[in-house]
Amino acid sequence: MDFSPKVLDKLVIGDKIQVKSFGCGLKLLDFPDLRICNIDPGLLSTENLTLVTGKNFTHRIYLRDGIFAEVTLLYQNGRFNPLPWTYWDYATEEVLAMLENLRNQLLLELKMAGRL
């Protein structure tokens, strides 16, 4: 997601936003023959990584308009841990390390904002 500087100035950690989707996949204007699919957005919190998708399954929670959410990784015992349904690429050490760094940055920003 990309916000204009005017909007960014008004946002604070903890704000809730509604994301509306249009279409499916990603089209790159410079590469009209290339179509990128399966880019499901996620939400990183200090407790977990949640993904949203257009595909239902037994562990997913319906949000609205054909969109479902699933907790993909739980933060327990000092690290992110995969669940039985976690896609393998989210469970790699590289991705887990990146998410750990992002979580640390989020914790710092929450502390600086007086929200922890």
pLDDT in tens, 70-102: 999 999 999 999 999 999 999 999 999 999 999
Annotated domain spans of the chain: 5-112
Residue 39 near residue 28, CB atoms below 8 Å: no
Question: What element of type H or E holds 96?
Answer: helix 93-112
Radius of gyration of the chain (CA): 16
pLDDT in tens, 20-42: 555 556 667 777 777 666 666 78
